[in-house]
Amino acid sequence: MGKATGFLEFTRTESSAKEPLERIKDFNEFHMPLSEEKRREQASRCMDCGVPFCQNGKMLCGMMSGCPLNNLIPEWNDLLYHGQKELALSRLLMTNNFPEFTSRVCPALCEKACICGVYDSPVTTKENENSIIEFGFASGLMQPQVPAVRSGKKVAVIGSGPSGLAAADTLNRRGHNVTVFERSDRVGGLLMYGIPNMKLEKHIIDRRVELMKAEGVEFRTCSNVGENVSASEILGSFDAVVLACGSSNPRDIKAEGRDAEGIYFAVDFLKATTKSLLDSGLADGKYISAKDKNVIIIGGGDTGNDCVGTSVRHGCKSVVQLEMMPKLPDERAENNPFPQWPRVCKTDYGQEEAIAVFGHDPRFYCTTVKEFIKDDSGKLSAIKTVKLEFVTDPASGRKVPKEIAGSEETLPCELCLIAAGFLGCQQYIADAFGVSLDQRTNVRTAPGRHSTDVEKVFTAGDMHIGQSLVVRAIREGRDAAAEVDEYLMGYTNL
């Protein structure tokens, strides 16, 4: 522990962000790092707790508490405070393949489980992590680590999202020959096309991919296994296969008028914007534009917020975000104690921007869609909403939503984006490899395992556990890699 009184002497100070009305002028990341001195002060606030819940990574009441990667947070915070950033980098990379991703898009599970946050404010762990990994790249320390010995074993990884990249990186470092198949034109999966540029600029992904290529990983883009690439050929050519194709089936909204023109899934909206941005700076017009439109987003999660921020940048006329659930409390409830994930209301970047532009919070709580209204040409023109109340179901004892009679409201809308989550992996990829699915349409495995019911086929990430976080996907990829390594070699040191 570098400074025993650090958490008493210094208050939490976060990196500054551009003002909302300024940052919506482009799609760039908008946080500005602290000075070296200030960053070391923030690292000194780490208390070196007897029980560091920040790195615990356990499920509590259905939610993750602490870092799923078990990052050695007190250790590298201490090294960062002492100015030993090269050592801090080595400790960080022991547990996390891609700190440059998690330090940008993770909701900081570590900080929500920080002891310092019980009576004060938590340590800026996420930003500290970002400063360490960016130092590594800026100082030339992130050089290719080519395995000295190759095993001669070949592994195919299907999907290049965070779990697929983590599995590929880990297996390659072990000495196996890894080929990653990606159906899109760019590597990154969810990281590339599911997360907007202002949260994760894509050159950050490209930088890591180029490093992995130099280390020996082969990437094949535009390779849709089960469509233009044969699964049987892959099974015949590789010693093991890791399915990391994500949870790609978006949950739909069943309401009258669903066939109206102007209704899209959020993932298609976000992907189209990012692809056009990367291809032409949006000049090609090959994206779903929100400009001058009344936009309604169905879903109150991170993806819904990303749609708000993207719509504002397009120049939408108005934006509304419908949330079926009630507004969460502003502070922890008594039945949600530390170190559980705090179920509290947060106003994210997109909502901040909508408030700055339109003067009010875009979120409507306890509200759902009752009808999509079309004009004479079949285009979406409005949405009829209805308020919900939650009542106890006598049969199950659970709270269930019930429409409130007379609460209907019609809102103008020319563009509706469905951000209601995902239901599991796409059937065609499961059928291609012959793996079975569970009741949640995730690939079936034994509890705590990654091997499927098909010989030499493994699975990882959202395809295995359902829609989750990037940090959990990386852990999934690392764990699957260890299981594959044991299968190939008879033992594993991963």
Strands annotated E in 244-342:
263-265, 294-298, 318-322
Check residue 248 and give its pLDDT: 87
Q: Under a CB-based contact definition with an 8 Å cutoff, are residues 141 and 115 in contact?
A: no
Query: Hey, what are 165's tokens?
Result: 């990249």
Return the exposure string of 324-339: e unless at least 16 CB atoms fall within 10 Å of the residue's CB, then b: beeebeeeeeeebeeb
Cα 22–Cα 26–Cα 27 angle in degrees, nearest 5: 120
d(CA 51, CA 32): 32
pLDDT of 397 higher than 90: no
pLDDT of 1 higher than 70: no
3-state secondary structure 400-439: EEEECCCCCEEEECCEEEECCCECCCCHHHHHHHCCCECC
pLDDT of 2 higher than 70: no
What's the predicted TM-score (pTM) here?
Answer: 0.96
Average pLDDT, the chain: 96
Q: Under a CB-based contact definition with an 8 Å cutoff, are residues 173 and 165 in contact?
A: no
Work out the pLDDT band at 193, boundaries 50, 70, 90. very high
H or E element: which one contains 363?
A: strand 363-364
CA 480 vs CA 151, 153, 242, 439, 489: distances in Å: 18, 16, 8, 21, 14
Per CATH, the number for 154-248+423-489 is 3.50.50.60
pLDDT, one tens digit per residue, over 10-31 is 999 999 999 999 999 999 999 9
Task: List where CATH 1.10.1060.10 sits in the chain.
Answer: 6-138
Per CATH, the number for 263-418 is 3.50.50.60
Check residue 277 and give its pLDDT: 98
pLDDT, one tens digit per residue, over 119-178 is 899 999 999 999 999 999 999 999 999 999 999 999 999 999 999 999 999 999 999 999
Check residue 53 and give its pLDDT: 95
Q: Is 325 helix (H, G, I), strand (E, B) or coil?
A: coil
Per CATH, the number for 6-138 is 1.10.1060.10
Check residue 50 and give its pLDDT: 85
Bridge partner list, 221: none
pLDDT, one tens digit per residue, over 253-308 is 999 999 999 999 999 999 999 999 999 999 999 999 999 999 999 998 999 999 99
Check residue 240 and give its pLDDT: 98
Strands annotated E in 152-223:
154-158, 177-181, 218-220
pLDDT, one tens digit per residue, over 407-459 is 999 999 999 999 999 988 999 999 999 999 999 999 999 999 999 999 999 99
Task: List where CATH 3.50.50.60 sits in the chain.
Answer: 154-248+423-489, 263-418
pLDDT, one tens digit per residue, over 72-122 is 999 999 999 999 999 999 999 999 999 999 999 999 999 999 999 998 999
pLDDT, one tens digit per residue, over 31-62 is 999 999 999 999 999 987 888 999 999 999 88
Scanning 244-301, the segments in alpha helix (DSSP H) are: 266-280
